[in-house]
Amino acid sequence: MLEELVEDPQKWLEAYHKRSNVEGSFSILKRDNPSPLRKKLDERREQETFGRACNQNLKRLCYLNYTENINPKGNWPK
């Protein structure tokens, strides 16, 4: 990793920033959902994981709407 940093710092920093964002997102998901997945079947585990991710996205959207006055009125169905 250090060799890549020396060779092309901008490329390395872009990749690092992506990794940092992903790690932060997983950290938030784990903090908000400390219990393990409850479902046993793979399909239902995927649904539970998707539900948790959607819940996190909605919380983030509400937070941004409150703090930054970002309103999600775009091409959403009415």
Q: Is 56 exposed, middle or buried (0-12, 13-18, 19+ CB in 10 A)?
A: middle
List the one residue out of 73, 33, 74 whose CA is nearest residue 51: 33
Residues of the chain with pLDDT > 70, as a percent, come to: 90
Distance CA 73, CA 65 (A): 11
- Token pair of 42, please? 């793979």
**Residue 17 DSSP class:** H
Residue 36, phi then psi, degrees to nearest 5: -70, 165
**What is the tens place of the pLDDT at every residue in 16-41?**
999 998 898 889 888 988 899 899 99
Q: Which residue has the tokens 């997102």?
A: 25
pLDDT in tens, 46-72: 999 999 999 998 888 888 888 887 766
